[in-house]
Amino acid sequence: MTDFTFISSADNEKIKLYKRLSADKKLRRKEQLFTVEGARLTADAAAEAIELHCVFFTENALKKYSEALELLFSKYNKKTFSMISDELAASLSDTQMSQGIFAICRMPKSDNAAQYAEMKSGGKYIILDNIQDPGNMGTMLRTADACGIDAIITCNCCDVYNPKTVRSAMGSLMRVNIIDDDIYNAVLNLKKAGIAVYAAVIDSSAVSLTECDFSKGGAVMIGNEGNGLPSEHSALADVPLTIKMHGTINSLNAAMAAGIIMWELSKA
C-alpha cells in the first residue's frame, strides 16, 4: 500500500488534534483519545485491540519499519493513515530520536463497578495515592505488568495517558487493568471483596515487607513521591508495612519502592 494522503501543513486538523491531545489532559478525557509515538507502541496498541483513530508516518519510517506498518495497514482502513513530512514529524515528536510514527488512540472503556465486582480474595493490587511524576507512573505500570498485578488503582494521580507515562510504560499501559477512583471508595470495595489492605509507610514500628503474608493476596497503598501517604489515608489500611533499609537511608524513590513491593506480592 503506497497511496496515502500526504500532510505537510501544521494547520491540518488531525495534526492540530494530536498536538492538543499531547498537551491537554482535560481534552484527552473529554474526547477519550490519547497519543502514542513510535513503531513499538503503535503496534502494541493495535495488538491489544486499542482503536487507532489515525496514524501518521514519514517516508523514512515507511522504509525502516515497513513490517510493522504493513501489519497495521492490513488491519485498518486506509483512511486511518497519513504520510507526513520530516519537519512535521519533528514538531510532533516528544523524543530526541523520533522513529517518525505517531498515532491517536481511543482509550479503552473503563467500568469501575465491573472491575470491583470481579475482585476476589487472592488478588494482588496496588493503590497509588497522589503520584504526580509521569515517568514514575509509567515505571510503576510497567512493573505491575511484569509482576502480574491484577489492577492498579490510581487515586488523585497524574494522568496515565500523559505522553511521558505512555512512553515510559513501554506498552504496559495497554495491558494493565487500571481503576481511577477516590481512595476511600477504593479501599471500601477492596475490603468488601475480602482483600487485606496494606499501607507503605516510613515507620520502624510497621511490619517489615518481607514478613507480610501475601499468600491470600492483598492491596498495598503507595503515596506521593515527596510526602508519602497522608495519615488519614494510611489509617484506612489493615496493616502498615515498611521496607527495612540499611545505613542512614530511610526512604526510596516511589517507583523503586513500588517495584520492591510488587516483587514481593508476585512471589506469594
Three-class DSSP labels, 11-32: CCHHHHHHHHHHHCHHHHHHHC
Q: What's residue 251's pLDDT?
A: 84
Question: How far apart are alpha carbons 5 and 201 in whole angstroms?
Answer: 54
Do 18 and 35 meet the contact criterion of CB atoms below 8 Å apart?
yes
Question: How far apart are alpha carbons 4 and 264 in whole angstroms?
Answer: 50
Distances 22 to 26, 114, 117, 161, 261 between C-alpha atoms, Å: 11, 29, 33, 9, 31
pTM of the model: 0.94
Kindly state the percentage of the chain with pLDDT values over 70: 99
Do 36 and 102 meet the contact criterion of CB atoms below 8 Å apart?
yes
SS3 content of the chain, % helix, strand, coil (to 5): 45, 20, 35
Q: Under 8 Å CB-to-CB from 236, ≥6 apart: which residues?
A: 183, 184, 187, 197, 199, 221
Q: What's residue 202's pLDDT?
A: 94
Question: How far apart are alpha carbons 210 and 227 in whole angstroms?
Answer: 23
What single letter denotes the amino acid at residue 36?
A: V
pLDDT digits (tens, 9 = 90+) for 26-37: 999 999 999 999
Q: Is the pLDDT of residue 1 over 50?
A: no
* pLDDT (mean) for 4-20: 97
pLDDT digits (tens, 9 = 90+) for 157-197: 999 999 999 999 999 999 999 999 999 999 999 999 999 99
> Which residues share a beta bridge with 197?
219
Q: Is 228 helix (H, G, I), strand (E, B) or coil?
A: strand
Residue 268: pLDDT band (50, 70, 90) is confident
Average pLDDT, the chain: 96
Q: Is the pLDDT of residue 58 over 70?
A: yes
Domain ranges of the chain: 6-106, 112-266
pLDDT digits (tens, 9 = 90+) for 87-129: 999 999 998 889 999 999 999 999 999 999 999 899 999 999 9
Q: Under 8 Å CB-to-CB from 243, ≥6 apart: which residues?
A: 200, 208, 209, 252, 257, 260, 261
pLDDT digits (tens, 9 = 90+) for 198-218: 999 999 999 999 999 999 999
pLDDT digits (tens, 9 = 90+) for 222-240: 999 999 999 999 999 999 9
End-to-end CA distance of the chain: 50
Give me 252's grid cell.
Answer: 526510596
Q: What's residue 248's pLDDT?
A: 85
Domain 6-106 is of which CATH architecture?
A: 2-Layer Sandwich (3.30)
Domain 112-266 is of which CATH architecture?
A: 3-Layer(aba) Sandwich (3.40)
